[in-house]
């Protein structure tokens, strides 16, 4: 029967170090390849806005170039638009590796006149050349309005095999253009549609009465009377017409506002809701407002009846509502205290029932007519995006490249069929399909950049590209259930390594010493951590291409350095099975961590304790006799097939093995 070999490895330690040096050493040998940044001069400005005759220096906040057109009948040149550079309007959207700087022209109607990519540090550039400028990508943005959608795959055709970069350019242009429009194009469609008052009121409209209590718009004061009954008062600022209508309804607010205007010249209204089981009725003249050391009693003329609280947000929250009109000397931007006198003897104001009130930032901005706080502007943009993306699932389906989707679904079916049936012949067919279609034809394969950019940009990155979304979902689901099925059958570079191992003569194959392998496999986890840290700190370096050589071969790189790195990996993988997967693949490291959650793992039997057949056959060195380092396992079916066919010691019963292996003490295998 086969026994675990005690023969020393024929693989010298220095050989592995040489292979690692060849494969890894060139990564930081040269600075990142990138285009020189274009200088923004008159010629470049004119290219982006051809209708202009002259341009101002960059100025303003946000900074813009003003574009003018000369009219022979006019004394002064006519302003026709603005140009801006996206780095001047942070935060920038991050592409595959780093931000992409763009010069954008916009006319007075909010329509883009053109764009020019000034500089980018994409990893793919050193592989594919100036791909953002040479594939007619920039021309699509001409005539788009800032109110339009800029979704890649629906509104903009992305650059083939560069979804992340396309997404970053489109969204970066959109966000920057909308900020410019808010400041300089106040009459544009986008600004009209996103009027701060209307949009802010819609944000408030989405809130319940309880939400308004939580965020401070509504404050409650429970006044306990002498007989222990309680008068429950609710206060809410409604110094803005829209806010008042939202709180109490159009009719009740209109009546209260008209009555208040007849009584006092100025002052902001505070809604007063009345409820509780108080034995004594609410008395408006017992209300007062204190700010600082000054107290402002609420005179009868400063209190109006609002209604029965049967409309607006206050409906069913109180029995009835009134409103007090604040003295115009009260500064609503500062906190003030609302007091209620129960009529019982007190020694000081501190003994009065009271509640502190601060008008929240959003209502305060509404009534003062100031720009909304930044956090609300961000919410408004997100809300506008949500409206644009309404039906995004339908658009994802309607705009899907169905031929690609069908090809992918067929590939998924092959992967799962070969995996579940443990069919070696079908797996080789699947690997050939993966290598040719995903590698050389389609190019929709996963990269560690999908992880880093997914963290930074969120799931919307994947919602514009159905084939990519399908691969992401398939990879996550299979990894969570079974482990690294993606690495086994859906990675084109993994497939290429498997074909190398199959066709290189077995006598040239060498085995890495176990102790060295156990240390070297953690290199890829270090690479993964490095890339994530660099991505999250918005590093200007573009280094993904040095760690993911599959882009070099499948995108046909123009870089001699990258081809050198690729050839070093292929040379190493031809003598050490899955060399790249074992020691350098950051995506494999990430999937390895996720696979630790997988419930359905490879079965082992007691005979594995004295057998080395699967251990020698494992392409990633994940097996140690009866133990499997599951994070390193790529679910290639080799060991499972051998167990099914009983190709090792498992062809004998435990009793037979005990009879031949008298020193063996079998232990239970889980």
Tell me the per-residue pLDDT of 574-606, one tens digit each, with 9 for 90 and over. Answer: 999 999 999 999 999 999 999 999 999 988 888
Task: Specify whether the CB–CB gap between 200 and 380 falls below 8 A.
Answer: yes
Whether the pLDDT of residue 307 is over 60: the answer is yes
Tokens describing residue 219: 């404050």
Q: Is the pLDDT of residue 354 over 80?
A: yes
Q: What is the pLDDT of residues 523-537, one digit of tens each?
A: 999 999 988 888 777
CB distance 180 to 106 below 8 Å: yes
Q: What are the b/e assignments for 131-152, b being 16+ CB within 10 Å?
A: bbeebebbebbeebbbbbbbbb
pLDDT at 2: 40
For residue 241, is pLDDT > 70?
Answer: yes
Average pLDDT, the chain: 83
10 Å CB burial of residue 662 (0-12, 13-18, 19+) is exposed
pLDDT confidence band for 4 (50 / 70 / 90)? very low
pLDDT at 60: 92
pTM: 0.59
What three-state secondary structure class fits 105? strand
Cβ contact 545:552 at 8 Å? yes
The pLDDT, as a whole number, for residue 6 is 40
pLDDT-derived band of residue 407, with 50, 70 and 90 as boundaries? very high
Instruction: State the Cα–Cα distance between residues 417 and 426, nearest whole angstrom.
Output: 8
What are the structure tokens assigned to 393, written together?
Answer: 């699932």
Sorted by sequence, the CB contacts under 8 Å of residue 151 that are 6+ apart come out as 170, 388, 389, 392, 395, 464
Where residue 538 falls among pLDDT bands split at 50, 70, 90?
Answer: low
Q: Where are any strands of DSSP class E within 210-360? A: 218-224, 230-237, 269-276, 287-291, 294-297, 303-307, 320-325, 336-340, 353-357
pLDDT confidence of residue 394: 63
Q: Are 547 and 527 in contact (CB under 8 A)?
A: yes
Distances, alpha carbon 613 to alpha carbons 518, 554, 618, in Å: 19, 35, 9
Q: Are 271 and 323 in contact (CB under 8 A)?
A: yes
**Averaged pLDDT, 503-508:** 88
Higher pLDDT, 275 or 167: 275
Measured at the alpha carbon of residue 80, what is the angle toward residues 76 and 82, in degrees to the nearest 5? 120
From first CA to last CA, the distance across the chain in angstroms is: 24
118: tokens are 């000034």
Domain ranges of the chain: 1-16+392-670, 42-193, 209-368
- 9 pLDDT higher than 60: no
More confident residue, 449 or 69: 69
Residues in the chain: 670
How far is the CA of 468 from the CAs of 390, 461, 493, in angstroms? 21, 10, 17
Tens-digit pLDDT profile for residues 37-88: 788 999 999 999 999 999 999 999 999 999 999 887 777 899 999 999 998 9
Print burial letters for 73-85: b (CB count within 10 Å at least 16), e (below 16): eeeeeeebbbbbb
Q: What is the spatial distance between Cα 358 and Cα 352, in angstroms, rounded to a whole number? A: 19
Tokens of 194: 């996103």
What is the largest distance, in Å, between two alpha-carbon atoms of the chain? 110
d(CA 295, CA 228): 27
pLDDT, residue 548, reads 86
Report whether pLDDT(19) > 90.
Answer: no
Amino acid 448: pLDDT: 83
| pLDDT tens-digit readout, 510-519 | 888 988 999 9
Q: What confidence score (pLDDT) does residue 27 get?
A: 44
Per-residue confidence band for 5, with pLDDT thresholds at 50, 70 and 90: very low
Segment 338-358 shows an average pLDDT of 86
Q: Is the pLDDT of residue 93 over 80?
A: no
Q: What is the mean pLDDT of residues 9-34?
A: 48
Please compute the mean of the pLDDT values over residues 121-137 and round it to a whole number: 67
In the predicted structure, residue 91 carries a pLDDT above the cut 60: yes
Element (H, E) at 451: helix 448-457
Residue 295 has a pLDDT of 92
Q: Are 511 and 7 in contact (CB under 8 A)?
A: no
What percent of the chain has pLDDT above 70?
84
């Amino acid at each position: 029967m086969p026994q675990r070999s005690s023969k020393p490895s024929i693989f010298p330690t220095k050989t592995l170090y040489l292979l690692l040096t060849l494969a890894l050493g060139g990564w930081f040998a040269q600075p990142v390849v990138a285009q020189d940044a274009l200088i923004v001069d008159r010629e470049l400005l004119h290219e982006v806005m051809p209708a202009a005759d002259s341009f101002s220096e960059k100025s303003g906040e946000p900074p813009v170039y003003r574009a003018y057109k000369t009219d022979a009948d006019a004394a002064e040149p006519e302003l026709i638009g603005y140009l801006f550079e996206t780095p001047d309007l942070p935060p920038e959207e991050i592409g595959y590796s780093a931000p992409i700087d763009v010069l954008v022209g916009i006319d007075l109607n909010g329509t883009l006149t053109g764009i020019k990519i000034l500089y980018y540090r994409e990893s793919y550039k050193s592989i594919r050349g100036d791909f953002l400028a040479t594939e007619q990508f920039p021309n699509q943005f001409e005539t788009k309005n800032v109110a339009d959608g800029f979704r890649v795959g629906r509104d903009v055709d992305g650059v083939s095999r560069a979804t992340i970069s396309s997404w970053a350019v489109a969204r970066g242009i959109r966000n920057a253009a909308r900020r410019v429009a808010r400041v300089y194009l106040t009459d544009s469609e986008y600004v009209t549609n996103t009027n701060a008052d209307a949009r802010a009121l819609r944000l408030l409209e989405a809130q319940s009465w309880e939400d308004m209590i939580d965020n401070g718009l509504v404050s409650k004061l429970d006044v306990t009377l002498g007989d222990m009954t309680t008068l429950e008062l609710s206060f809410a600022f409604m110094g803005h017409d829209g806010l008042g209508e939202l709180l109490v309804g159009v009719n009740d607010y209109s009546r209260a506002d008209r009555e208040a205007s007849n009584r006092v010249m100025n002052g902001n209204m505070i809604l007063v809701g009345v409820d509780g089981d108080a034995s004594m009725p609410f008395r408006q003249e017992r209300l007062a407002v204190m700010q600082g050391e000054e107290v402002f009693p609420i005179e009868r003329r400063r209190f109006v009846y609002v209604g029965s609280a049967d409309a607006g947000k206050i409906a069913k929250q109180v029995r009835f509502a009134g409103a007090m009109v604040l003295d115009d000397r009260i500064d609503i931007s500062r906190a003030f205290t609302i007091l209620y006198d129960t009529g019982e003897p007190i020694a000081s104001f501190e003994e009065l029932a009271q509640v502190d009130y601060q008008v929240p930032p959003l209502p305060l901005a509404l009534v003062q007519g100031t720009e909304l706080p930044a956090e609300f502007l961000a919410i408004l943009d997100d809300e506008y995006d949500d409206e644009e993306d309404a039906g995004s699932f339908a658009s994802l389906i309607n705009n899907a490249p169905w031929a690609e989707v069908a090809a992918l679904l067929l590939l998924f079916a092959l992967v799962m069929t070969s995996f579940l049936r443990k069919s070696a012949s079908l797996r080789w067919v699947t690997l050939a399909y993966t290598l040719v279609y995903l590698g050389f034809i389609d190019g929709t394969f996963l990269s560690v950049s999908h992880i880093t950019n997914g963290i930074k940009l969120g799931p919307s990155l994947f919602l514009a590209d159905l084939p990519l979304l399908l691969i992401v979902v398939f990879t996550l689901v299979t990894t969570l259930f079974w482990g690294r099925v993606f690495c086994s059958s859906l990675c084109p570079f993994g497939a290429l390594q498997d074909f190398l191992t199959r066709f290189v003569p077995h006598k040239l194959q060498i085995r890495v010493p176990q102790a060295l392998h156990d240390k070297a496999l953690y290199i890829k986890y270090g690479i993964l951590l490095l890339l994530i840290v660099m991505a999250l700190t918005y590093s200007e370096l573009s280094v993904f291409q040095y760690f993911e050589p599959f882009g070099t071969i499948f995108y046909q790189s123009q870089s001699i350095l990258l081809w050198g790195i690729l050839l070093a990996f292929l040379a190493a993988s031809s003598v050490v099975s899955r060399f790249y997967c074992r020691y350098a693949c950051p995506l494999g490291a990430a999937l390895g961590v996720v696979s630790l959650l997988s419930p359905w793992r490879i079965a082992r039997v007691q005979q594995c304790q004295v057998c080395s057949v699967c251990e020698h056959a494992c392409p990633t060195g994940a097996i140690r006799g009866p133990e499997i380092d599951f994070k390193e396992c790529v679910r290639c079916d080799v060991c499972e097939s051998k167990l099914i066919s009983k190709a090792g010691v498992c062809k004998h019963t435990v009793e037979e093995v005990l009879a031949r292996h008298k020193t063996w003490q079998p232990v239970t295998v889980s």
